[in-house]
Amino acid sequence: MTSTTSMTDWLTNHIAHARWFGGKGRAFTVGDVRRVGTLPHPTGGGPNTTIDLARVTYDDGEADLYQLPLAFYPEPQDRLEHALIGTWHDPDFGLSHVYDAVHDRQAMALWLHAFARDQDGRPLQFHRLEGHDLDLNAHSTAFTGEQSNSSVAFGEDALLKVFRRITPGINPDIQIHEVLTRAGSDHVAALYGWLDTVDPETGVVIQLAMIQQFLRTASDGFELAKASVRNLYAEGDLYPHEVGGDFHGESERLGVAVAETHATLAAEFGTEVWDATRVADLADAMDARLRSAAAVVPQIEEYAESLQATFGQLRGLGELGVQRIHGDLHLGQTLRTVKGWKMVDFEGEPAKPLHERLLPDSVWRDVAGMLRSFDYAPAVVEQAAMESDSEGAAQRACRGRQWSDRNREAFLHAYAGRDLTSDERTVLNAYEADKAVYEAVYETRNRPAWVPIPLAGIARIAAA
């Protein structure tokens, strides 16, 4: 592209190639681009830093709203060549070289100072919780592995999450983090603040970003689980409880952390009871997803009758207690720190509309997600092991099942603190089956080599 290329063309190219763009493979155009606000310069220096919202309209008529944090410079910046979006004439700043602001330390310093001032004005509103003073001298570092959002660390002090695809309304990640932080929960990274604006046409809040405690030394829960499985596979004649990397204790501690988090959410948001009609609707929705999934993953059809019976048992319960939950809980949404387990990303299931992610649900949905994750860990390790040792597959499969069963039971017993009732088992089985069906469709569309993992779970659930 040339310097005479229009702003819309530059932004279209930028969005199409961004890791966080969720519409890859779909034809689209960038229509309305609206400037939400410009960050002030408290020190008198730095680039002109703005937040723009771009409406992406797909050829099928659907549309998404994406956040674009931008940094404008009158001259090219060699240090930011990797983050260059384009060069165009901006109505506010004239001919400018425009960069993705999350990669620019000078631009991010303006964001940090805005949070520190707790600016509660129009149009950008930076909110802060009491109890932590931000380190204004900390340099920013953008995370390179992000997908749906963009994250920026400020030294070892704070982590900024910039939401890319924007839905007007309350973001559950901010809402739940604020509630748990104010309640003194030990199982989340403390929320320091958030950024939002108000749509001038509708009066609806649009939440743009959140800044929270940076758990720099934390370890990803799924990576720790896989390391435990690898330790087991390296010891060919030992049981899981005999291996140095046994995960049983961590599964128990994680079960307690999830239970305590659910208890706090129940106390802060309240609980309710779904009647027989609402429970029947839940079972019907699971049935509908099963039918849709079978059209995408034909292997599911073999187990359809058994899974429908599982959903039928749920339908027969009559009532179900519900509350606010995580909504998309698995080992990859957990971090192990020196102070225990933390849960992250309370945005809920990404495929669901925002208003559904704000609704109460059964805690057993979260529990089912964790149980499925304990099935995934040995299966994913096995995928890699097969490349170098296919002859040992049968033995690894048996030992992987032992690992999974041991940690599933440890987590579940620690979560409940007792044996589950018959009704609880019925609900849990239905949610786990529903989750495995969802996984089968997801893997078919995104990681076909992993499809056997959820299919094995479906077979096990159906057999039970």
The string of pLDDT tens digits covering residues 156-167 is: 999 999 999 999
* Same domain, yes or no: 262 and 377: yes
Domain end residue (candidates: 162, 179, 213): 213
pLDDT of residue 121 exceeding 60: no
Of 51-65, 136-150, 256-270, the one with minimum mean pLDDT is: 136-150
* Same domain, yes or no: 253 and 105: no
pLDDT of 147: 74
Q: What is the CATH number of the domain that holds 357?
A: 3.90.1200.10
* Same domain, yes or no: 101 and 175: yes
Of 175-179, 236-240, 349-353, 447-451, the one with minimum mean pLDDT is: 236-240
Of 2-6, 147-151, 402-406, the one with minimum mean pLDDT is: 2-6
pLDDT of 194: 97
The average confidence (pLDDT) of the chain is 92
pLDDT of residue 41 exceeding 90: no
Over range 78-91, report the average pLDDT. Answer: 96
**Residue 71 DSSP SS3:** strand
- Residues near 443 by beta carbon (within 8 Å), at least 6 away in sequence: 450, 451, 453, 454
Domain end residue (candidates: 182, 213, 244): 213
Q: Is residue 385 part of a domain?
A: yes
Distances (CA, A) of 210 to 179, 200, 330, 407: 14, 21, 22, 33
What stretch of H or E contains 415?
A: helix 393-416
pLDDT tier, 372 (very low <50, low <70, confident <90, very high otherwise): very high
pLDDT of 24: 83
pLDDT of 119: 57
Q: Is residue 414 part of a domain?
A: yes
pLDDT of residue 12 exceeding 80: yes
Q: How much is the CA Rg of the chain, to the nearest whole Å?
A: 24
Over range 10-22, report the average pLDDT. Answer: 94
DSSP assignment of 315-368:
HTS--EEEE---SS-SGGGEEEETTEEEE--TT--TTS-HHHHTS-B-HHHHHH
pLDDT of 46: 79
* Same domain, yes or no: 194 and 233: no
Phi, psi of 135 (to 5 degrees): -85, 100
Over range 98-102, report the average pLDDT. Answer: 97
pLDDT of 365: 97
* Same domain, yes or no: 206 and 232: no
* Same domain, yes or no: 328 and 431: yes
pLDDT of 384: 80
Q: Is residue 17 part of a domain?
A: no
* Same domain, yes or no: 121 and 266: no
Q: Is residue 2 part of a domain?
A: no
Answer with the residue of higher pLDDT: 42 or 384: 384
Q: Is residue 22 part of a domain?
A: no
Which tens digits make up the pLDDT trace of 296-340?
A: 999 999 999 999 999 999 999 989 999 999 999 999 999 999 999
**Cβ(320)–Cβ(274) under 8 Å?**
yes
pLDDT tier, 43 (very low <50, low <70, confident <90, very high otherwise): low
**Residue 184 DSSP SS3:** coil
Q: Is residue 10 part of a domain?
A: no
pLDDT of 102: 97
pLDDT above 70 covers a percentage of the chain that reads: 96
Phi, psi of 219 (to 5 degrees): -115, 140
Over range 271-298, report the average pLDDT. Answer: 96
Q: Is the dihedral of CA 418, 419, 421, 425 positive or negative?
A: positive
* Same domain, yes or no: 278 and 337: yes
Domain that holds residue 353: 219-463
pLDDT of 402: 93
Q: How many domains does the chain have?
A: 2
pLDDT of residue 223 exceeding 80: yes
Over range 339-347, report the average pLDDT. Answer: 94
Domain end residue (candidates: 185, 213, 241): 213
pLDDT tier, 388 (very low <50, low <70, confident <90, very high otherwise): low
* Same domain, yes or no: 204 and 272: no
pLDDT of 351: 75
Q: Is residue 14 part of a domain?
A: no
Of 141-145, 321-325, 435-439, the one with minimum mean pLDDT is: 141-145
Which tens digits make up the pLDDT trace of 392-411?
A: 788 888 889 999 999 999 99
Burial code (b: 16+ CB inside 10 Å, e: under 16) for 289-316 equals bbeebbeebeebeebbeebbebbebbbe
* Same domain, yes or no: 315 and 432: yes
Over range 340-352, report the average pLDDT. Answer: 89
Over range 287-292, report the average pLDDT. Answer: 96
Model confidence, pTM: 0.90
DSSP assignment of 251-317:
HHHHHHHHHHHHHHHHHHH-EEEE-HHHHHHHHHHHHHHHHHHHHH-GGGGGGHHHHHHHHHHHHTS
Which tens digits make up the pLDDT trace of 171-203?
A: 999 999 999 999 999 999 999 999 999 998 899
* Same domain, yes or no: 209 and 231: no
pLDDT of residue 3 exceeding 60: no
* Same domain, yes or no: 289 and 185: no
Partner residues linked to 286 by β-bridges: none
**Cβ(127)–Cβ(194) under 8 Å?**
yes
pLDDT of 44: 66
